[in-house]
Amino acid sequence: MHPAHSEADPILRPKEAAAAIGWAESTLAKSRLSGAGPAFLKVGKLVRYRRSDIEAWPSSRRRRSTSDTGAAA
């Protein structure tokens, strides 16, 4: 096992991460450009995601109204 890899927090490829959140892989790629998607890792040219970041991301998008920007008041 690679030292940076943990069975408790597996590293996902973009295709696996997109499937986990119900997005197309291309949508996930576009979200990386805009900064609107889950946190990701860059290893050289490779993009990877921690499972924990993929699981936590929807909670970070929670809003109370359509006008709620999510910014701290």
Closest among 62, 45, 59, 53 to 20, alpha carbons compared: 53
Per-residue pLDDT of 8-37, as tens digits, reads 899 999 999 999 999 999 999 999 999 989
Say if residues 58 and 31 touch (Cβ distance below 8 Å).
no
Our count of domains for the chain comes to 1
Determine, yes or no, domain membership for 54. Answer: yes
Determine, yes or no, domain membership for 35. Answer: yes
Determine, yes or no, domain membership for 37. Answer: yes
Which pLDDT value is given to residue 73?
46
Q: Mean pLDDT lowest for which of 2-6, 17-21, 34-38, 57-61?
A: 2-6
For 2, 57, 60, 63, the CA distances from 69, given in Å and listed in that order, are: 39, 16, 12, 8
Determine, yes or no, domain membership for 73. Answer: no
Determine, yes or no, domain membership for 19. Answer: yes
Identify the domain containing residue 39 by its residue range: 11-59
